[in-house]
Amino acid sequence: MRLVGLTGGIASGKSTFAAALRELGAAVVDADELAREVVRPGRPALEAIRASFGEGVLGEGGALDRKRMAALVFSDPEARARLEAIVHPAVRQALAAETSRLASSGEALAFYDVPLLFETGLDRDVDCVVVVYARPELQRARLAARDGISAAEAEARLAAQLSIEEKARRADLVVENEGEVAALRVKAKAVLAALRSGLSRRLPNAPAPRY
């Protein structure tokens, strides 16, 4: 089974594109869902987090308090590295189990929806990468409107990720999302058809196809 990495920038429309792929019958594995699953109560990763960070990161019922955990690691690179060293291997194991299940069920193609695909080096683990793209100024406007934040706050969130221009440069296929949702759904159908027909890694120094 071919595994296609799906990523983008904040407010670029990646989640909407992933939803459109699901509507078309494509298998989409959500990295955020896997990350939530591996830290559920009773899972080894949560016990490792408790041992490393203390009881203070647990909330009601012994579940991980994600907001408290995020606040703890946001401005502390060492703490963030400790957390990632626990969570990332667990997520990789969960992904391996899910892709094995999909392959066994007859799926020939699946998408792995990962916000920080390039930042975490996961682009090396997939067969090709699709990036959902929107111009940075459009990202800022969408983010400010969606989350009710200032332009400066929106800019700070964009700056915390690899730029959308760099992601598009490294992609094997780019989906431009600067219009209506209906247009993005049409592009999802075209991209899915192209990938199912064999479209894969682009040649070195060749521009990525854009939809």
114-156: pLDDT as tens digits: 998 998 889 999 999 999 999 988 888 888 888 888 888 888 8
> What pLDDT, on the 0 to 100 scale, is given for residue 202?
87
Number of domain units in the chain: 1
Instruction: Say how far residue 110 (Cα) sits from the centre of its chain.
Output: 14
Determine, yes or no, domain membership for 184: yes
Residue 103 belongs to a domain with what CATH number?
A: 3.40.50.300
Distance separating alpha carbons of residues 85 and 133, to the nearest angstrom: 29
Determine, yes or no, domain membership for 74: yes
Determine, yes or no, domain membership for 208: no
> What pLDDT, on the 0 to 100 scale, is given for residue 146?
86
Determine, yes or no, domain membership for 206: no
Strand, coil or helix: 58: strand
Distance separating alpha carbons of residues 126 and 124, to the nearest angstrom: 6
Of residues 78 and 160, the one with the higher pLDDT is 78
> What pLDDT, on the 0 to 100 scale, is given for residue 108?
95
> What pLDDT, on the 0 to 100 scale, is given for residue 74?
75
- Choose the weakest-confidence range: 107-116, 125-134, 178-187: 178-187
Domain that holds residue 82: 2-196
Q: What is the mean pLDDT of residues 75-79?
A: 86
Under 8 Å between Cβ of 42 and 50: no
> What pLDDT, on the 0 to 100 scale, is given for residue 38?
96
> What pLDDT, on the 0 to 100 scale, is given for residue 95?
95
Name the band, by pLDDT with cuts 50, 70 and 90, for residue 179: confident
Residue where the block lists tokens 């990036």: 131
Residue where the block lists tokens 């957390």: 83
CA atoms within 13 A on the CB side of 116: 10
Determine, yes or no, domain membership for 204: no
What is the three-state SS of 29-46? EEHHHHHHHHCCCCCHHH
> What pLDDT, on the 0 to 100 scale, is given for residue 185?
93
Rounded percentage of the chain residues whose pLDDT exceeds 70 = 100
The answer, yes or no, to whether residue 173 has pLDDT greater than 80, is: yes
The angle at the Cα of 148, spanning 21 to 79, to the nearest 5 degrees, equals 75
Determine, yes or no, domain membership for 209: no
Tokens of 194: 């192209």
Determine, yes or no, domain membership for 49: yes
Of residues 67 and 86, the one with the higher pLDDT is 86
**What are the beta bridge partners of residue 128?**
4
The H-or-E segment that residue 131 falls in is: strand 128-133
Determine, yes or no, domain membership for 26: yes
